[in-house]
Structure formats: structure tokens, C-alpha cells
Structure 1
Amino acid sequence: MSAPSHLIVIGTSAGGMPALVQLVAQLPATLPAAVLVVQHFAPDSDGQHLVARLARHTPLHCRLPTDGDVLESGTLYLAPPDRHLLAKDGSAPYLLVTKGPRENHFRPAADALFRSAAVAYGARTVGVVLTGMLHDGTAGLEFIKRCGGVAVVQDPHDAEYPSMPETALRNVDVDYVVPLDQMGALLEEITRKPLPERKMDIPEDLKQEAAIAERVVGTTEEVTRIAHPVPLTCPDCGGSLFEVNEGKLLRFRCHTGHAFTADALLRSAQHSLEETLWVALRMMEERKNLLSSMAARGEGPYSVQQEERIEEMKKHINRLREFLLNGGGSNSSTVRNTED
């Protein structure tokens, strides 16, 4: 196998395996590129089974890579479960398979793969976002564009889960939006085009972020080179967050290496708030029940005082319950009427 002239990096989530099967069936064994794939699946998934499934539908050589594997053209590399897949430039470009910090709560993360590919291959990188939920891959496409590469997104109307393609289209100047049945021919055409003679410089901040992702734990000194501190907390480790200085997308990092888009951070904060409110509601109901039991055993003024406290507690419970019902939680229908 020869060294690839291009890297095609693909990110997908919900509905991803059927989409990948349809796409890789269109790619020829003579493809001059290596294909690197991040598919979100459970940490205990059988990666070899997924590779075998793809191999049955494509002439590409399909592999579950190991750390240090040399990149080869005509080969598909599927990120192993619970491991980041990263590309690294060298005398012979190769792969890193690491258990570094999650990005947007994902490992493997499309953003991490896309960034490393953009730094290693520059304008010879083609980023592809397929069907999936949420927004992994959006920042990654921006990284690729900043390094002169090409951004391709599955037509949201063609995607089983359009959230990932739609988010990418809202935030990145995408080059091509196509349905799956046209994507194979497009990728082959892109990888066979001659490249511009002038090599585009790789932004220093992306080099720094790629270096951070290569290690299991980063440092405060590294992150302060590319970001500034903000009064927010990392939802994964509890450390301080830093707002990344460059790029159109609002993004955040902590010094240990976790990374988030603003959307991912907002979603995480909403989830944490919801969980906290459910705990508060449960504790308030327990307090009301205790006060009711105390009042039932009391007499005279003390009993009247307890009844007043119970009525006040019921008001607080009902306000909190109404908030959860109207927008606080996905399980709001399970809340019982606390007046019962």
C-alpha cells in the first residue's frame, strides 16, 4: 500500500452504521486516500464486529487501528470504542489511538480526529459529517476549513438524524451538501483533483490543540496559550474553563484537556440543573411529609405553626414542580401532585 495523498475523515452518530455502509460501498479500492471514521457507540461495543460489517460492503481494506499504525491509501480505519483516533504527520504519516480527555463528552470524538487530520494533512483533508444527534464534527469542519481543506455534509433531508448535518451547516462555510448516494463519487473526485501549488500555513492555535489532544492530561500553561479564563466550570472534571480565542465557533477547554462547544456546554449545564432540581423537589417533599407527621402529633399553637409551615412548603413544592413541568425536565410527567 502507498501513502495516502488525502485523508477523508468522517464523523457520524445515530443512524451512522447504515449510512457508512451505503457510503463505503461507493468507494473504490484504488482510492488515493485513507478513510478515518469516528462512529459514536458504547465503550463496550465490539469494534471488530463493526469493522467486519463495513468490510462486507466495500473493496477498501477495513481495519480497527492500533497506536502507531502507518496510514495507507485505500484503507478504512474505524476508531476503536472509547478511544480517540488521531492522525499524525511524520516521515510516514501514522495514527495515534489514545484514551485522552473527552470532547463534547465523546470519546472517540469527530472534532478531535478532524483537528488532527487538518494539522497533519492541511488542504489534503476532506471532512465529512453524516447523520447523527447533537453537534460533534461542527468545530472539526471549521478546523479543516481553516487549514485549507474541504467540508462535506450529508443533506439533512437525506439523513436519518439530521441534527449533526444541520448544526454543521449553520456554523461552517460548507463546500458540498449532498445525499449519500452521490457522496462516494464526490469524494473520489475531490481526492483526484490537483492541489494548489502554494501550501497553506497551519494556524498555531490548532497545532497547540492537536498537541493537547495527543496526551492524556494537558497543562494550564498549554491551554492559556490559546484561551483565556472564564468563570465557568468543566462539567467533566470540575476544573476551571477557558474560552478558546480563535475560530468562529464559541468553544471552551479545561486544563486537563476536556473540550466543549458552547452548545455542548449549555446542554450539560441544563442537564445538571435539571438533576439538581429533581433532588431539591424530592427533599422538599420529604420535609413536607415530616412536618405533616409532626403536626399530627401536636396540639394547640404548636400544631397551628406546623400547619402554616406545611402550607408554605406546599407552595414552594408546587412552584418547583411547575417549573420542571414547563421546561425543566424530560421526565416531568412522572411528578405526582404533592397536594395529594
Structure 2
Amino acid sequence: MNQSGNSMLVVIGASAGGMAALKTLVAQFPKDFPAPVFIVNHMGANTTGEALVKVLNESGSLTCVHARNEQVFEPGHIYLAPSDQHMLIAEGKILVTKGARENRSRPAIDPLFRTAAVAYGNRVIGIILTGYLDDGTSGMMAIKRCGGVCIAQDPEDASYPDMPQSVIANVGADYCVPLAGMGMLLSDLLKRELPERAPAPEDIVIEARIAQRVLSDLSSVEALGEQVPFNCPDCGGVLWKVTEGEILRYRCHTGHAFSASALLTQQTVKIEETLWVALRMFEERQNLLVTMSHNESKKTPSSTSQRAKDSQVHIDRIRAMLRSTDKDAHT
């Protein structure tokens, strides 16, 4: 590969419904596809991603592999982010890191898009496919600000339209097309003559360095935004608000990052976890009080039995809150 940074890159982000969408997309790539392709598909930490590698190898002409740290990439190959690790782009090579989660995900789409934009500027073509919420929106904004191309799957063509809709609404896609039209579009885009790329904006560079764990300190995060009076739900650290146009995001100094919707979702998850602990403790307390009341003298008036009944009031309230929290989590 050309190490000068003038080669083109294609970066793709997908989540729910991603396997079927990616299968359809890579089937359109010819054997002589002139750019490397990098894919982040959200997956659980306990999955290997081998099934997706197998499907993509069987679906198209290009070789698909799990990315390795410090791997030199080549045109005509597909590199898939491994489970529970971020895939980042540097000049001519891949970085695989165990950095902090972004938008509750690892691998996450934003770090791939952002680091590609810093390293290759207007040579980057970003594609966002089907998925929930809005991972990839901030990263696509970075690609756009660095002169790259933004492609969103037509939401009507997506199994789960949230992610492409968010990019279209908050970034403004250069192209909004169904999967069936992406192969031809990419072929045309990769033939273009491009001007020299300009340096990336400093705030994008800072966030790319944080993802690479080159730096993660208070001064770096303070340069990105203003401190807010609530904490990171993952580590408990203070959060800073980062504003990019209409996009509202939050970061802590250890590296966790959230869009506003991802932060709200994670807060809901943490509230639910806390409520389950409280429910268990109240039920254990009630059981202890009932046991104590059975052992007390029948002739001696006791408040233990009443206290056990009072505990049921708290138990019922917590159960009602859990039902409400469960509805919020699925809204």
C-alpha cells in the first residue's frame, strides 16, 4: 500500500441487522477493489465474530480477516474489528486497542471513523448502515470535517433505521442510497482525483489520540468542552459536555464517551441495576424480620411483624419503578 496517506480508505459501521446488510454490500465489491475496507459491527464481548468473517468471505471476492494490532493494511482486503476491542487507523497500519467504551460499545464505530479521518482526511469514505441509536454520527462528522465522503444507507432500506437517520439528520449525508446501489457508487467515488488533504481540526486529533490511549488527562478533555454536574455511569468520573453543531456528546477523562442518547440509555441501565440491588436487600430484610417475629413470645407485643409488613410497601414501590425503568429502556 502507498504509505504517503494518498490512498483511499472505506470505513463502515453497522449494528443491529448488520450481518445481512454487510453480506449484501461486500458481494458488490470486485476482486480488484482499489481500497482497503474496515468494518465495525457491534457485537457482544462474549462473541468471536468468526461467523461474520466466514459469511463475508463466502459472500464476495475480497478476503476478510479480523484486524490485528500493528497490521499493515492492503487494498482489496476487508478488516473486521475483533470482539471487545476498538479498531483504529494510523498511517498505513491498524491499531487494535482495549480502550474505554464509546457509546456503550467496544468495538465502537466513532473511534474507527475519527482516527481514519485524522490519518487520511479527504481520502476517507464513510458508510453507516443499519443499527439502533447513533454510534457513528460523531465519527461521520469528523470524516466530513476532514473533507471525506459521507454515505448513509437509505433508512427505508435499513432493518433498523436509527443510525443512518441520525447521520442524515445531524451530519448531512453526501449520498443516501439503498444497499443495492452502494457498490457502483463506491466504484465511481474511488476513481476521483482529489486535492491534497488539509490537516485535521485539533479537537478531532485530540479525540483520536484519546482513543489510541496516547493521552487521557484533564487538560485534554477540558480542551474539548465544559464540565457538567453529573458523572460517567461506567467509571463514576466527572463528565465534560462536547458540542459539535447540533450533536451533543459527553466524555470523561478516562476515555468513556457517550452521545446524549447513549448516556441516557446507560444511566437507565445503572438505575435498574441499583434498583435490583435495593429490591434484594429489602426482601432479605423482610425475610429476616418474619423469621424474628416467629421466634418471639406470643405474649409479648412486638413491632417486628409490623416492620415486615412495612417492608412490603417498599418492595412494591421498587417493583413498580423497575417496571417503569424497563419500559424506558425499550422506548
* 1:26 pairs with one of 25, 28, 36: 28
Change in Cα spacing, 1:186 to 1:281, as seen in structure 2 (3 Å) is same
| Structure 1 spans left out of the alignment, 5+ residues | 333-340
Change in Cα spacing, 1:103 to 1:271, as seen in structure 2 (3 Å) is same
CA displacement at 1:301 relative to structure 2: 7.5
1:62 aligned residue? 64
2:121 aligned residue? 122
Assess if the C-alpha contact under 8 Å between 2:17 and 2:159 holds in 1: yes
Change in Cα spacing, 1:112 to 1:322, as seen in structure 2 (3 Å) is same
Change in Cα spacing, 1:299 to 1:264, as seen in structure 2 (3 Å) is same
3-state DSSP of counterpart to 1:100: coil
| Higher mean C-alpha deviation, range 21-30 or range 197-206 | 197-206
* Counterpart code for 1:188: S
3-state DSSP of counterpart to 2:190: helix
CA displacement at 1:251 relative to structure 2: 1.2
3-state DSSP of counterpart to 2:247: coil
What are the residue-to-residue correspondences of 1:214-293 with 2, within 5 Å?
A: 214-215=212-213, 218-293=216-291
| Higher mean C-alpha deviation, range 5-14 or range 307-316 | 307-316
| Higher mean C-alpha deviation, range 104-113 or range 211-220 | 211-220
* 1:313 pairs with one of 311, 314, 318: 311
* Counterpart code for 2:301: Y
Assess if the C-alpha contact under 8 Å between 2:268 and 2:328 holds in 1: no
* 1:204 pairs with one of 202, 207, 212: 202
- Output the TM-score relative to the length of structure 1: 0.85
CA displacement at 1:199 relative to structure 2: 4.0
* Counterpart code for 1:191: L
CA displacement at 1:267 relative to structure 2: 0.7
* Counterpart code for 1:105: R
- How many correspondences in the alignment? 326
CA distance in 2 between counterparts of 1:199 and 1:283 reads: 59
* Counterpart code for 2:102: E
CA displacement at 1:331 relative to structure 2: 12
CA distance in 2 between counterparts of 1:159 and 1:111 reads: 20
Assess if the C-alpha contact under 8 Å between 1:8 and 1:125 holds in 2: yes
* Counterpart code for 1:258: H
Assess if the C-alpha contact under 8 Å between 1:100 and 1:217 holds in 2: no
- Output the TM-score relative to the length of structure 2: 0.87
1:88 aligned residue? 90
Identity rate of aligned residues, in percent?
48
CA distance in 1 between counterparts of 2:74 and 2:58 reads: 19
* Counterpart code for 1:176: Y
Assess if the C-alpha contact under 8 Å between 1:40 and 1:108 holds in 2: yes
| Structure 2 spans left out of the alignment, 5+ residues | none
The one-character-per-residue Cα deviations of 1:64-118 (angstroms, maximum 9, x if unpaired) are 33222333222221122222211113xxx32222222221222211100000111
CA distance in 2 between counterparts of 1:282 and 1:314 reads: 12
* Counterpart code for 1:88: A
- Taking only aligned residues, the RMSD between alpha carbons, in angstroms, comes to 2.7
| Higher mean C-alpha deviation, range 197-206 or range 130-139 | 197-206
CA distance in 2 between counterparts of 1:203 and 1:331 reads: 37
CA distance in 1 between counterparts of 2:15 and 2:82 reads: 14
1:163 aligned residue? 162
1:336 aligned residue? none
CA displacement at 1:217 relative to structure 2: 6.4
3-state DSSP of counterpart to 1:250: strand
CA distance in 2 between counterparts of 1:67 and 1:267 reads: 31
Assess if the C-alpha contact under 8 Å between 1:205 and 1:246 holds in 2: no
CA distance in 2 between counterparts of 1:216 and 1:17 reads: 32
3-state DSSP of counterpart to 1:232: strand
Assess if the C-alpha contact under 8 Å between 2:104 and 2:266 holds in 1: no
3-state DSSP of counterpart to 1:86: strand
2:96 aligned residue? 97
Change in Cα spacing, 1:49 to 1:291, as seen in structure 2 (3 Å) is closer
CA distance in 2 between counterparts of 1:224 and 1:175 reads: 32
1:75 aligned residue? 77
